[in-house]
Structure 1
Amino acid sequence: MSNSCIPSIPLPWANRQKPNSRPQPRRTDNFRYFHLPGKIFGNSGSKVHIELENFENSLYYGPITVGTPGQKLNVVFDTGSSDMWIVSNLCPTSGTHRTFNNDSSRTYKNRDLPFIFNYHPGRVTGQWSQDNVWLAGATVRNQMFGLATENYQMYEDLDVDGIVGLGFLNVFDDNEPNLFSNMVEQKLLQAPVFSFYLNRLGSSDRSSRLTLGGTNPDLYTGDFTFVDLSAMNRWQFRVDRLQLDDDATTVCKGPFHAVVESDKSLIVGPEKDVLLLHRMLGAKPDIYDGLNYGYSFRCSTVDSLPDVTFVVNGKKLSLSSKDYVIKDEGCYSAFVGRKFMKRDGFPLWILGTPFMRGFYTQFDKGNHRIGFAKPNH
């Protein structure tokens, strides 16, 4: 495998420093719902629309420009992490990956502090830096980011040069805003909201899009189903149960946690629950890669498979077989099982891009909630 400064897709247990203080949660049915201290957000800005590239229905990435004069890079906009890092020209890379040359930017500042992000597998190391960042015409000034200088596992066959975290906390310093928070504080956006529309290759003429500052009504229909977050520092919420919608058969009794992560190409759940789901769907075990347990379907049965539904606040978030079946020289399930999928004593599910293709997803940081609407595929 070729090496570069880009790791494989990061998982949610990437190392993070603990904040100095946390808001106090209120408890409802033994679940924690966090409400952050109130803050006045400027509304003098606009919406920023970023077109995303779809790599084989598994990962979505888009352009940013860093420095003065600007240097264009492609990044994954990741709701599962909080920080930004890009690849330095001092990092040995292979292929056609772009890198950032800090000597060529007159607005660059070296913060003279090392950083390290541990992922599974691999890690990224380098130095904390600061510069201006452009996103679709909006200029974010003095943005903190990691400049990766060490050589680790790459995103194979992907034109990806780093990550922009859209989570809550910044590893460098609790008082240092991440890129989205910086855009809000600098009044570049109408509201502290961003949203994703992820297309399906071959079934949509619309491009995938990230909208910062609100939503894009052209890309969804109907009303949003909103749910409060059950964590202070991640896009996580409570699910009542998981069921099959042909006869409302319960697969997994809740409550359990679900976290939406836009950099994950699968839907990951506890091993036993995912096994039971696939027994009910008539799938068979297909692969074990040392971490995930995968399953496959007979392709002739895919169109007749029932919806798989996450019940949230009594409302259904249903995925059809078009959402959860991956067709690639066979028919494979986007649901995979993994051991030790728990958080705060409750089962944990990670909802990646197959789930997000099924819904236009709104991330409302101001109201600490997530909203789901029907996408216009």
Structure 2
Amino acid sequence: MAQTLKNLHLQQPRLKVTLPKIPSSFAWSIVGLYKLTGVNMGVNLKAIVGFVFLSFLLFAVVSSASNDGLVRIGLKKVKLDKNNRIAARLDSKETLRASIRKYNLCSNLGESEDTDIVALKNYLDSQYYGEIGVGSPPQKFTVIFDTGSSNLWVPSSKCYLSVACYFHSKYDSGKSSTYKKNGKSAEIRYGSGSISGFFSNDAIEVGGLVVKDQEFIEATKEPSITFLVAKFDGILGLGFKEISVGDAVPVWDNMIKHGLIKEPVFSFWLNRNAEDEEGGEIVFGGMDPKHYKGKHTFVPVTRKGYWQFNMGDVHIGDKPTGYCASGCAAIADSGTSLLAGPTDIKMSSFSCFVAPVWIQLSDMDSDFELHMTIITMINQAIGASGVVSQQCKAVVSQYGEAIMDLLLSEAQPKRICSQIGLCTFDGTRGISISIQSVVDEGNDKSSGVLGDAMCSACEMAVVWMRSQLKQNQTQDRILDYASQLCERMPNPMGESAVDCESVPSMPRVAFTIGGKEFELAPEEYILKVGQGSAAQCISGFTAMDIPPPRGPLWILGDIFMGRYHTVFDSGKLRVGFAEAA
């Protein structure tokens, strides 16, 4: 293939009558027609010439070509809808958040630190899909181009028992002349199910590029609800080989290895205009200058696996939160729609926003260390409501007076929650039997999660009450104040709704990357689901946790990548961001 920039265009292509090179799929269509009709080449020469000419014109119409060397393939942008969000909740049988689901991604070929990967995404919320071809002639599949994973998988024709397979395209190896049997088993485990199958090798066509002998997974079993309603067939991972199931070489790595692209760089431009049919563009081999403004801010990849880099402080409005002042690990993930942060962050000597006041933690004991949920704080700051925290209300109603008594007796704030049995003395989390009965969800697996939530709720209540005591408020006023905050506290394990009419007045939220603040406006971090009076506005910030050794991590998904054109540079191992055009 020529050493040119290759890209995927996420839009209905513009009509241009050009005569591009005949792709493999077109060549196969001619061969197939000849075999099917058994034409006599001498007698039907005029018919064949006419067919070829008309086919050229037809292909020119459905292909988008330009004089900049870019090859464009029409991709789809799908709006979020309520049906997908309902299905996401139905499929979550464990204590997993509705907006981003936690699942373990691991190889069945051996358990190690590098093969036990935790990816965090709910693909049902993904909006950007593209088409690839598998085999010769190419069998077409709609896939998510996902920088947060590294494997390519599509449904297999041998998927007999999963209902989801009957609603999506399926790969049939018997119809491909370039298929090579592999047979190695594979499994991707999810929180509430798994995708399993086996590896095969075949040609993969991506935006006119053909990657020969690519290893991929034929999925023979899929979770019924998640993939039953999904608008895509499979996933094409663009992450590093370090997180690849079965140690398979990713498609992107093979593009580089076989010299199919000009530079070892690919870039994303995602169109966040809900009214625009054009979904965006993925460019393999470089970046398109018309998709960004100014220069990119590049940061080095700090750990191969995900496209991971170091992120600085988070700002709400014009206030620094201090949460990541000393640095936080983050990844750019095109397979996640939302923007996710850890549920549990230790902080000390910083100011934090607790609606409707700012609390200066440095005013507290010098050794005080508080576990707080930054996503909850952001959602409070933007006015997210409608989801009541049972844990917080249980703490205030049952232990509020005890906390007040301990504060008045000048007990050490960091030990108060331990003294009343909600946290252990060594700083780790615990849960008392009495509180557990209040918030029991009937799932033994959730007890550890609930224990952490109760401990966090107690620690936050201590901060709230102590700040009000310093203002000489009465006990009744303080307890009432804490209860009001509980009412406004979004559920860290689910989504948070906002009043659509209040979006323009919400604060901006910024993330520091490479010493520069990357700001998101309210209309950029709020997702609108539905139309007219039935529309709902959902906060784009959600809580999630990736356990060590790869976590904790911040996930900058499509909400962030929509505002900022994102470059993934494999050659220089860096990620770059610039304002999208």
TM-score (structure 1 length as normaliser) = 0.81
- Note if 1:63 corresponds to 2:134: no
Larger displacement relative to structure 2 (253-262 or 353-362): 253-262
Residue in 1 that maps onto 2:121 = none
Matches within 5 A, 1:119-130: 119-130=190-201
Assess if the C-alpha contact under 8 Å between 2:314 and 2:320 holds in 1: no
2:341 maps to 269
Corresponding residue pairs, total: 334
Residue 181 of structure 1 deviates from its aligned partner by 0.7
State the distance in 2 between where 1:197 and 1:287 align: 37
Q: Any conservation in 2 of the 1:170–1:176 contact (CA below 8 Å)?
A: no
C-alpha separation in 2, matches of 1:353 and 1:67: 30
The answer to whether the 8 Å contact 1:192/1:366 transfers is: yes
Shift of 1:251: 5.7
For 2:385 and 2:324, locate their aligned partners in 1 and report how far apart those are by CA, in whole Å. Answer: 19
* Distance across 1 between alignment mates of 2:515 and 2:331: 18
Cα deviation, residue 273, structure 1: 0.7
State the Cα distance separating 1:234 from its structure 2 match: 1.5
Structure 1: unaligned runs, 5 residues or longer:
1-41
Task: Confirm or deny: 8 A CA contact 2:242 2:305 kept in the other structure.
Answer: no
Larger radius of gyration: 2
* 1:357 paired to 2:458: no
Q: Which moved more, 1:205-214 or 1:127-136?
A: 205-214
Change (3 A) 1:358 1:156: farther
Q: Are the equivalent residues in 1 in contact too, given 2:151–2:248 (CA < 8 A)?
A: no
Question: Which one of the candidate residues 250, 259, 280 is aligned to 2:381?
Answer: 280
AA aligned to 1:316 is E
From 537, 541, 557, the counterpart of 1:335 = 541
RMSD of equivalent CA atoms? 2.6
Sort the Cα spacing of 1:334 and 1:307 in 2 relative to 1 into closer, same or farther, 3 A.
same
Change over 3 Å in CA distance of 1:146–1:77 after alignment to 2: same
Q: 1:291 to 1:87 in 2, by over 3 A?
A: farther
Give 3-state SS (helix, strand or coil) of 2:221's partner.
coil
2:171, 2:548 → 1: CA distance? 37
Kindly indicate whether residue 148 of structure 2 is the aligned counterpart of residue 80 of structure 1: yes
Counterpart in the other structure of 1:318: 519
CA deviation vs aligned residue, 1:323-352 (integer Å, no higher than 9, x gap): 1111222221010123x4454597421121
Higher mean C-alpha deviation, range 249-258 or range 72-81: 249-258
Mark the CA change 1:292 to 1:352 in structure 2 (over 3 Å): closer, same or farther: farther
Aligned twin of 1:24: none
Distance 1:250 1:256 in 2: 11
Q: C-alpha distance in 1, partners of 2:210/2:279?
A: 23
Structure 1 position 156, deviation (Å): 4.3
**CA displacement 1:292-313 (0-9 Å, x = unmatched):** 3322222222112121101122
**TM-score w.r.t. structure 2 length?**
0.54
Counterpart CA distance in 2 for 1:146 and 1:249 is 43
SS at match of 2:313: strand
Match of 2:508 in 1: 307
Q: What is the aligned counterpart of 1:297 among 490, 498, 503?
A: 498
Residue 255 of structure 2 aligns to a residue whose secondary structure is helix
- The aligned residue for residue 99 of structure 1 is 170
Please say if residues 170 and 178 of structure 1, whose CA atoms lie closer than 8 Å, have aligned partners that are also in contact.
Answer: no
Rounded to whole Å, the distance in 1 between the matches of 2:210 and 2:290 is 25
Q: Does the 8 Å contact 2:153/2:216 carry over to 1?
A: yes
Distance 1:345 1:99 in 2: 33
Q: Which amino acid aligns with 2:133?
A: T
Q: Contact 2:131–2:143 (CA<8 Å) still a contact in 1? A: yes
Q: CA offset at residue 176 of structure 1?
A: 5.0
**How far off is 1:122 after superposition?**
2.1
- Classify 1:278/1:152 alpha carbon distance in 2 versus 1 (closer, same or farther; 3 Å): closer
* Alignment partners' CA distance in 1, 2:245 and 2:540: 36
Deviation of 1:49 after TM superposition, in Å, equals: 2.8
The question of whether the paired residues in 2 share the 8 Å contact of 1:362 and 1:372 is answered with yes
- In the alignment, the residues of structure 2 paired with residue 148 and residue 119 of structure 1 have an alpha-carbon distance, to the nearest angstrom, of 14
Structure 2 CA distance for aligned equivalents of residues 204 and 360 of structure 1 = 17
Deviation at 1:219, TM superposition (A): 1.4
> In the alignment, what sits opposite 2:51?
none
**CA–CA distance in structure 2, aligned partners of residues 43 and 225 of structure 1:** 30
CA deviations over 1:98-126 (Å, ceiling 9, x no partner): 11111111110111211111123321111
Q: Could you say what secondary structure the match of 1:182 adopts? A: helix
Between 278-287 and 117-126, report the one with greater CA deviation.
278-287
Of structures 1 and 2, the one with the larger relative CO (CA 8 A, separation 6+) is 1
Residue 337 and residue 170 in structure 1: after superposition, are their counterparts in 2 closer, same or farther (change >3 A)?
closer
More strand by share: 1
Aligned residue number for residue 53 of structure 1: 76
SS at match of 2:158: coil
- Contact preservation (8 Å) 2:204, 2:214: yes
Partner of 1:258: 330
Matched, 1:150 2:221: yes
In the alignment, structure 2 segments of 5+ residues that lack a partner are: 11-74, 81-125, 344-372, 390-489, 530-534
- Please say which of residues 54-63 and 313-322 is displaced more in the overlay: 54-63
In 2: Cα distance, 1:292 partner to 1:331 partner: 18
Letter in 1 for 2:539: S
Query: Matched residue of 1:278: which SS?
Result: helix
Task: Provide the C-alpha distance between the structure 2 equivalents of 1:140 and 1:84, rounded to a whole number of angstroms.
Answer: 12
The code of the aligned residue for 2:379 comes to H
Instruction: Give yes or no for the alignment of 1:207 onto 2:275.
Output: no
- Give the aligned residue type for 1:117: I
Tell me the equivalent position of 1:14.
Answer: none
State percent identity of aligned pairs: 32
Asked if the contact 2:267–2:567 (Cα under 8 Å) also holds between the matched residues in 1, the reply is yes
- Shift in CA distance, 159/173, structure 1 to aligned 2, threshold 3 Å: closer
Q: Output the CA distance in 2 between the equivalents of 1:313 and 1:356.
A: 16
Q: Deviations over 1:275-326 (max 9, x none)?
A: 1112222222538999833222222221121211011222011111121111
**d(CA) in 2 for partners of 1:360, 1:310:** 15
How far apart, CA to CA, are the structure 2 residues paired with 1:190 and 1:220? 20
CA pair 211-345 structure 1, distance change in 2 beyond 3 A: closer
- Separation in structure 2 between the aligned mates of residue 326 and residue 160 of structure 1, nearest angstrom: 20
1:239 to partner: Cα distance: 1.0
Distance 2:492 2:499 in 1: 24
